[in-house]
Amino acid sequence: MPRYRPEVLPLYTNSVVKVLASRPEASGSDRWRTVLYYVGALLLGVLVFRPALGLTASDWFFFGALVAVLYQVIWERTKVQVSLPRLLVLGVALFAIGGLASSLHASHRTQSALIVLRLVYVTIVWFWVGAAILRSREQLLIAASLWTISAALSSSAAIFQILWGNVIPGTAVSWGRMPGLTQHVNDLGGLTAIALVPAVMLATKPNLSRGWRAIHVAVMGLLVAGLILSGSVTGFVSAAVGLGLWILISGRRGRVLLALGVVALVGVAVAGLQLTSHGRSPLQRLEQVTATNGSEAGTLASRITLDEQAIQVVEHNPLIGVGLDAADARDRIGNFAHNMLLGAWMGAGLLGILGIVLALAAVVTVGVVAVRAATDPEERILAQALAIAVVVFLVFGMAVPLLYQRYAWMPAALLVALRAQQLRRASP
């Protein structure tokens, strides 16, 4: 059987089986772990369906991929050549120490400690699994495609919701804002904003057939629709920052402008749909968020108040946090601090925020190095899109507590996998 060649099959979304089948050296466990990872990526945006233990279906498939990798390492004695960035490991270790120390003093100790373990799992174990499984650029593109499709599926659910109301079990339309397949409207805003630039990258990728380009353009349009229907002003701003950076650094001027034209048309159409379906258009949401009229003050003022209260808690004891569970935050200030860094400091203490800053700095550094180490334009464009998605995550996280959401860390996980490929290629 001939080996896979990227110029023969550029249609990565429909090529999962072909990529797996065209690797004669891949064992059965290789294929199983890759398929499990792909399904996890495809279900990443489905946050409302949680089969067991409060974990999403995506969580379970990624856990299955971890088990498959461990089976190869332990039973088949396969050597996995993956080295995570030391700064990332150091940062997560510091956060874990601070988070566990703070959990001992928290009102809800077990729940707080479980959140610490979740972040360690997502940023260390999950990153390692992705780098171990995604060993070629084609596999990385498939995972990125499935991730954007997952966000598009959640956006499609938001369209159903604005047309027919609360038709999806476990979700609720809030003040004319749609959650899609997530549990909160801001989750849909973050999911779509972070995935938007990678979706634009995929839609403007060369060597695609007309059919598959149309599919990727449709995915891009659905992400814009979901972002608008979520009513997340933070999502609007974050996505605008990401698209602005993409325009500045991308060399595909004509295609990017065409993609932005599609984005604008979809935005106008969805805004019109909102107005006719008693939803809230982006302009109405912006006015609502920034309102300053006394009792009718917008969410911007309320979030600033929450953050000020969180700062007061930190000033009282900057070394030890109050715990990372939502109940711990509600006990102290009434809700989460709407800033992921401030929330980490309040919940996990000084070591917590120091660790998170180091971990995020490590991810940004990986993105910069991956762009510089790219050996061809296609790899450089992929690295740039993922790095910009990380920037969108950081911007979004300044106003929304999403530090423990897997969808927020997805571009970072793919960047780590891409950098691992570069290091393997450079090693003798």
Contact, 144 vs 249, CB < 8 A? Answer: no
Q: 59-104: per-residue pLDDT in tens?
A: 999 999 999 999 988 887 878 778 899 999 999 999 999 999 999 9
Q: What is the structure's pLDDT at 107? A: 83
Instruction: Indicate whether 187 belongs to any domain.
Output: yes
pLDDT higher than threshold 80 for residue 403: yes
CA distances in angstroms from 88 to 75, 115, 268, 367, 397, listed in the order given: 29, 18, 41, 13, 18
- Please say if the pLDDT value at position 116 is more than 60: yes
Collapsed DSSP state (helix, strand, coil) of residue 278: coil
Residue 174 has phi, psi (to 5 degrees) of -120, 115
CA dihedral sign of residues 52, 110, 396, 380: negative
Domain for residue 1, yes or no?
Answer: no
pLDDT-derived band of residue 21, with 50, 70 and 90 as boundaries?
very low
Q: Whole-prediction pTM value?
A: 0.89
Stronger pLDDT, 288 or 324, i.e. the higher one: 324
Question: Does residue 4 sit within a domain?
Answer: no
Q: Is 6 a member of any domain? A: no
Residue 145 CB-half CA count within 13 A? 23
Which residues are bridge partners to 52 per DSSP?
55
Q: What is the mean pLDDT of residues 375-394?
A: 95
* Residue 179 within a domain: yes
Q: Find the DSSP H helices in 292-376.
A: 299-316, 326-333, 340-372
Question: 165-174, 221-230, 279-288, 384-393: lowest mean pLDDT where?
Answer: 279-288
Give the C-alpha separation, 190 to 388, whole Å: 14
Residue 2 lies in a domain: no
**Single-letter amino acid code for the residue at 332:** R
Angle (deg, nearest 10), helices 137-164 and 377-397 = 40
Residue 7 belongs to a domain: no
pLDDT of residue 292: 61
Is the per-residue pLDDT at 19 higher than 60?
no
Residue 67 lies in a domain: yes
pLDDT of residue 38: 97
Domain count, the chain: 1
Q: How confident is the model over 357-368, as a mean pLDDT?
A: 97
pLDDT digits (tens, 9 = 90+) for 297-355: 557 777 788 888 888 989 888 999 998 888 877 878 877 788 899 999 999 999 999 99
CB 235 within 8 Å of CB 189? yes
Q: What is the mean pLDDT of residues 28-50?
A: 90
User: In this structure, what token pair is assigned to residue 301?
Assistant: 């003022």
Q: Which domain holds residue 25?
A: 12-426
- Strands (E) in 118-184, as ranges, are none
Per-residue pLDDT, 142: 94
- Kindly list the distances between the CA atom of residue 264 and the CA atoms of 260, 261, 340, in Å, as whole numbers in the listed order: 6, 5, 30
